[in-house]
Amino acid sequence: MIEWSETPRYQVQVNGVALEYACYGPDPSAAATIVMLHEGLGCVALWRDFPALVAKRTGLGVLVYSRQGYGQSDPVTLPRPLDFQTREALDVLPHLLDQAGIERCILFGHSDGATIAAIYAGSVEDRRVRGLILAAPHFFTEESGLAEIARAGEAFAQSDMQEKMAKYHRDPVGAFRGWCDVWLDPGFKDWNVAEVIDYIRVPILAIQGYGDQYGTMAQLDEISDRAYCPVDRLEMDCRHAPHQERPDQTLAAIAEYCTRLERIEQAEVIPA
């Protein structure tokens, strides 16, 4: 089980894998929980102070964790399968929610984490999930994004990027190769999980930067075009990481979205 603490004494075991995590704000018995899913090269530490700020601003609990292969979680066996995001959504995330004792939650994902959140909400009927915050999500590949990932691969091979990543990741090579090699695999070029959007039935806050080097507004257009649920779009003057580049604007949008969801949850139904 998860110890609700900013500095837990132990990692949580999911499917025999030890995962790093941290918790902020009220525990799941006292308030809804925002579960934060990191980007392709992220981890608990790389969210920096944003989880604490989200908890303080919204009054909700926040759970962050490092997926296998990232941060201080157990290393991953390479190569990763090309459907690793779907496997994370269906095979890991529900068990983590169980371990945390989640009663009501909002899934907040960034980049790959946003895709994982959307896959879960569109594939599993889990009434605990009341909303989605999707920052820089991916539903299909784009040539511009693949080119940027290729440039990242060159930088990893030719610069001190591995040493820098080692400050945050127990296995920086596994973290990087587990992300980069999947995206650049020829078989991944036709990857597309946009159909999950058709089945999402909770409100979505979708956030995208105009200058995102890994994806374009076409990703948000896919949500707007396919969704049967309420969708709020926030288009920002930033690149791939709105919570880092425009933290105040991002935090304000998240807080307003969560306030509206909580108001709906607490509204009394008056019989006709």
The CATH number of the domain holding residue 40 is: 3.40.50.1820
Residue 37 is predicted with a pLDDT of: 98
Q: Across residues 53-67, what is the average pLDDT?
A: 98
Q: Across residues 31-51, what is the average pLDDT?
A: 98
Residue 4 lies in a domain: no
If 0-12 CB within 10 Å is exposed, 13-18 middle and 19+ buried, where does residue 267 land?
exposed
CA distance 262 to 73: 32
Residue 23 is predicted with a pLDDT of: 98
pLDDT surpasses 80 at 159: yes
Residue 269 lies in a domain: no
235: β partners: 208
* 269: confidence class by pLDDT, cuts 50, 70, 90: very low
Parent domain of 27: 12-264
Residue 135 lies in a domain: yes
**pTM score > 0.95 for this model?**
yes
Residue 180 is predicted with a pLDDT of: 98
Residue 265 is predicted with a pLDDT of: 80
pLDDT surpasses 70 at 5: yes
Residue 152 is predicted with a pLDDT of: 97
Residue 86 lies in a domain: yes
Residue 272 lies in a domain: no
- Beta carbons of 168 and 161 less than 8 angstroms apart: no
Total number of domains constituting the chain? 1
Q: Across residues 197-223, what is the average pLDDT?
A: 98
Residue 157 lies in a domain: yes
H-helix or E-strand containing 24? strand 21-24
Average pLDDT, the chain: 96
* 271: confidence class by pLDDT, cuts 50, 70, 90: low
If 0-12 CB within 10 Å is exposed, 13-18 middle and 19+ buried, where does residue 1 land?
exposed
- Map tokens 């983590």 to a residue: 96
Q: Tell me phi and psi for residue 28, to 5 degrees.
A: -60, -20
Q: Across residues 195-200, what is the average pLDDT?
A: 98
